[in-house]
Amino acid sequence: MEIGTISNIYLLIFLPLFASLTCQIFQIKNFCFSISLLTVIAVFGLLVKVFPDVLIYEKIKNDYDLSLLSIALEFSLDLIGIVFLVVIIFLEAVILIFYRTDILKILNQRNQSNFYSVFLLNLFSLVGILTTNNLFNLYLFIEIHSFSFFAITTISHNKKLLDISFKNFCLSAVSSILILICFFAIYLTFSELNFDKIADNIFLMPASKIWFILMILLLFSLALIVKFFPLWQYFEKIKSTSLVASFLIIDAFFIKILVGLFLAIKFIYFFFGYNFLFSQYQFSPIMILTGFGLVLYSSFKLFKEHHLKLICIFFSISNIGFMISALGMQSVESIQSLFFFLINFSLINFFIFLFASFMKKNCQTSSINRIFKIAFASELSSIPFKLIVPFIAALPFTFLFFGYWYMALASMELNLKIIMIIGLIFSNFVQLNIAMKIIDSIIKNNNISKSNLSEYSTSKDYFQILCFWIMALTVFTTALLSESINDMSLRFASFLLANTI
């Protein structure tokens, strides 16, 4: 392995930490934002640089074996990790730009520095979670992530939001304890904290002690759901116009879920493994049915939903449902569909949520029937959203279409898998229905006058508009590179299925 690649990976792990410290030290106007942005871009650039190497070697790892705990000096970056990292860092960059003006307005100089410092610390923890190969380090990074998340909430002066965040923090603490128990149990059993070594030793475990793994599975799943899928906790604040609420919800609904999905995939394939989950114990039907249930639930909810933020959340739940089913199906096609649902979730749903926040801020509403106001008042901000509509409608060559395509291919068997076809019908229909509602609302644009726009805020936030264009360009570029993306999905699926224990 080239030393350059390894140094790049170390750099991308530690750069956010150093940048965070710099923000704390130099509290100069605009400096912290610039440092944060440059750091995120640099991390993204490093990832792009390392990406071809990961594609070639599939897994790049390094450990100086200084001690058992070798804090943050031990990493392992594989195909799954880098895909998630690229997506998460990209989203973090967009979030940073999107909330720039709001943060400038709401926070004073001191708080701004704190905010960006915490933001970078959060980024450091995210990179750490996705690259570490050591259970202790993983626990450490998860804790840093929880603390930094909670630290951001303290900026808010909204009592309700603080209450919710405190509840979230308490639950997070409980799940941390569960994770700690799991990791401690693993250490006591295998006397190892290195992920690969544990995976190698898991075969040596006597059959009579298999219940032990089952217990770990149960506790870890519970901890993962509570910590990384906190969908229900922020539901009541989802329509809030508060900047901090919006920021936290985006973080909770997108970044946390992505990290949760990554950990779920990592542990399913490289810790518990195919033999244990799908051969010894039949977890496949449970996962398929859970996914199917989520898809149906979100489809029914979406049918009459008009609030764009909630629409986005139900879209996300539907995508997660499909991903869970895909994991349970255990075929190349199903994992390929998981890959596309993941991209759809990260790009399209995220974009819808950003647009909804923008609407809420400017029109005091994010109802789907009021999109015409944005379309009428600001072409510059509405065009990217209009361009995204085919992706919501799941037209061929969109991410969602390929997700459906591979899911349908994986479901065409005469067993439980076939119920996902029903899920596909419902999901496809509501997606199209929502796309049509958006078109209907945009068409209203021609029938309104300026007097109807009394409550529209005329001030333009160019940072937010820039974000929309970045998202739209990314979406279209990715869609146009469909051949490469399909190849990537195949690599992703092959890597998971070939390397599972």
Partner 1 sequence: MQQGQLLLFVIALFPFISWFASRFFRNFEGLYNFSYYLFPILYLINLFQASQYFNLELNQLTILEAVRGLSMSIYVDKLSLVFLYVLGFIWLLFSFYATRYFQILNNKNSYFIKEYFLLIVSFLNFLILSENLFTILFFYICLIISSHFFGVRYLNFLETKFTKFFTFILYLESFLIFIATVITYKINGQIDFIEKIILPSNYDQLQHLIIFLLFFFGLFLAMSVPIYLFFKNIKFDSLILMVLFMVSYGFSSCFVFLKILNYIYGYKGLALITKTYGLRFFEIIVITNLVVSAIFFLKNNDLKSSSFFIFFNQFIILIFSIIVHASGKFNFAVISLIGFLINFTILFFCLGNFELYLHKSPNKSLNGIFYIMPITSVILFFGFLSLVGLAPSLSMVDKFTILLFLIKNKMYFSITILALNFIFLGIFIFKKYQEFSQKDCIIKSDGQIENIAIDEKILNLGKKIDIDSSLILTTLFVAIFGFIGLIFFSYITQFLSFYDAIKG
Listed in sequence order, the residues at least 6 apart from 70 whose beta carbon sits closer than 8 Å to its beta carbon are: 63, 64, 134, 137
Closest approach, Cβ 343 to partner 1, in A, equals 13
Closest approach, Cβ 381 to partner 1, in A, equals 22
Task: Compare residues 308 and 393 and give the one whose CB is closer to partner 1.
Answer: 393
Closest approach, Cβ 389 to partner 1, in A, equals 9
DSSP 3-state percent helix, strand, coil across the chain (nearest 5):
80, 5, 15
Q: Is 148 helix (H, G, I), strand (E, B) or coil?
A: helix
Closest approach, Cβ 390 to partner 1, in A, equals 8
Burial class (CB in 10 A: 0-12, 13-18, 19+), 206: exposed
Query: For the stretch 23-52, what's the b/e string if a residue is b when 16 or more beta carbons lie within 10 angstroms of its beta carbon?
Result: bbeebeeeebbebbbebbeebbebbeebbe
Task: Compare residues 446 and 454 and give the one whose CB is closer to partner 1.
Answer: 446
DSSP 152-203: HHTT---HHHHHHHHHHHHHHHHHHHHHHHHHHHHHHHHS--BHHHHHHHGG
Binder to partner 1 among 443, 457, 462, 498 (CB under 8 A)? 443
Q: Which part of the chain contacts partner 1 (CB under 8 A), choosing from 139-147, 251-259, 377-385, 400-408? A: 400-408
Binder to partner 1 among 405, 468, 492, 495 (CB under 8 A)? 405
Neighbours of 6 (CB within 10 A): 17
Site string for partner 1, 458-497 (x = CB under 8 A): ----------------------x-xx--xx--x-------
Task: Compare residues 96 and 392 and give the one whose CB is closer to partner 1.
Answer: 392
What's the distance, Cα to Cα, between the start and end of the chain in Å?
24
Q: Are 216 and 135 in contact (CB under 8 A)?
A: no
Question: Which helix or strand (DSSP H or E) is residue 78 part of?
Answer: strand 75-78
CA angle 400, 83, 91 (to 5 degrees): 75
Task: Compare residues 356 and 392 and give the one whose CB is closer to partner 1.
Answer: 392
Tell how far CA 445 is from the center of its chain. Answer: 33
List phi, psi (to 5°) of 366: -125, 35
Binder to partner 1 among 4, 45, 285, 396 (CB under 8 A)? 396
Binder to partner 1 among 402, 468, 492, 495 (CB under 8 A)? 402
Site size with partner 1, rule: CB under 8 A: 29
> From CA 409, how far away is CA 452, in angstroms rounded?
48
Closest approach, Cβ 63 to partner 1, in A, equals 38
Residue for token digits 């950003």?
Answer: 354
> From CA 46, how far away is CA 7, in angstroms rounded?
10
> From CA 327, how far away is CA 414, in angstroms rounded?
18
Task: Compare residues 277 and 393 and give the one whose CB is closer to partner 1.
Answer: 393
Site string for partner 1, 374-393 (x = CB under 8 A): -------------------x
Task: Compare residues 146 and 441 and give the one whose CB is closer to partner 1.
Answer: 441
Neighbours of 348 (CB within 10 A): 23
Report the DSSP beta bridge partners of residue 61.
76
Asked whether position 338 contacts partner 1 by CB under 8 A, the answer is: no
Tell how far CA 468 is from the center of its chain. Answer: 18
Q: Which part of the chain contacts partner 1 (CB under 8 A), choosing from 104-112, 120-128, 189-197, 431-439? A: 431-439
> From CA 128, how far away is CA 142, in angstroms rounded?
9
Closest approach, Cβ 370 to partner 1, in A, equals 16
Q: Are 323 and 255 in contact (CB under 8 A)?
A: no
Closest approach, Cβ 415 to partner 1, in A, equals 15
Task: Compare residues 120 and 420 and give the one whose CB is closer to partner 1.
Answer: 420
Q: Which part of the chain contacts partner 1 (CB under 8 A), choosing from 80-88, 196-204, 215-223, 440-448? A: 440-448
Asked whether position 395 contacts partner 1 by CB under 8 A, the answer is: yes
Q: Which part of the chain contacts partner 1 (CB under 8 A), choosing from 42-50, 71-79, 165-173, 434-442? A: 434-442
Closest approach, Cβ 482 to partner 1, in A, equals 4
Q: Which part of the chain contacts partner 1 (CB under 8 A), choosing from 354-362, 397-405, 455-463, 470-478? A: 397-405
Task: Compare residues 184 and 429 and give the one whose CB is closer to partner 1.
Answer: 429
CA angle 429, 432, 435 (to 5 degrees): 150
Binder to partner 1 among 173, 214, 222, 432 (CB under 8 A)? 432
> From CA 148, how far away is CA 408, in angstroms rounded?
40
Task: Compare residues 73 and 409 and give the one whose CB is closer to partner 1.
Answer: 409
Closest approach, Cβ 355 to partner 1, in A, equals 20
Residues 407-426 that bind partner 1 (CB under 8 A): 408-409, 412, 421, 424-425
Residues in touch with partner 1 (CB under 8 A): 393, 395-397, 402, 404-405, 408-409, 412, 421, 424-425, 428-429, 432-433, 435-436, 439-440, 443, 446, 480, 482-483, 486-487, 490
